[in-house]
């Protein structure tokens, strides 16, 4: 194999060099597969959620880490953010079309994993 994986950009046909540290596609993959990014995408597949609803749906995430993950995913174009001009402001998040494309296979991955794991006891 020479040169690593090349993914083609649809508009310009210039390949992404995903194994290079300066590749923009690599940044998006890092954000999606980060500890909390994956859970944000899966949580938003069902519904658009406000910040605190999202935090409650992802057990163990701190406000700081959720905010950082959301900021990166919004910047990458996977998540949209809507601010209602109320006091205090109500902020709602949802998936863009790109976010859905990326998030849907993640649910399939988790379904495959949970089908292979041993059955859990009712008390666990």
Averaged pLDDT, groups of 10, the chain, 124 residues long: 49 75 85 91 95 96 96 96 93 97 91 88 66
pLDDT of residue 33: 84
CATH of residue 79 = 1.10.10.10
How many structural domains are present in the chain? 1
Among 51, 44, 34, CA closest to 91: 51
Q: What angle do CA 69, 72, 49 make, to 5 degrees?
A: 55
Q: What is the pLDDT of residue 119?
A: 84
The per-residue pLDDT for 62 is 96
Residue 90 belongs to domain spanning = 33-113
pLDDT attached to residue 53: 97
pTM: 0.79
Q: Is residue 76 part of a domain?
A: yes
Rounded CA separation 103/42 (Å): 6
- Give the Cβ contact number of residue 32 at 10 Å: 20
> Would residue 12 count as lying in a domain?
no
């Amino acid at each position: 194999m020479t040169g690593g994986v090349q993914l083609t950009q649809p508009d310009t046909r210039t390949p992404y060099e995903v194994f290079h540290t300066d590749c923009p596609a690599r940044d998006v993959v890092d954000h999606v597969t980060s500890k909390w990014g994956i859970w944000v995408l899966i949580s938003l597949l069902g519904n658009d959620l406000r910040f605190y609803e999202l935090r409650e749906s992802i057990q163990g995430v701190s406000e700081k880490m959720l905010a950082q993950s959301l900021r990166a995913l919004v910047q990458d174009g996977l998540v949209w953010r809507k601010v209602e001009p109320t006091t205090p402001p109500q902020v709602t998040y949802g998936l863009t079309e790109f976010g859905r494309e990326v998030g849907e296979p993640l649910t399939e991955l988790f379904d495959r994993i949970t089908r292979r794991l041993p059955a859990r006891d009712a008390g666990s």
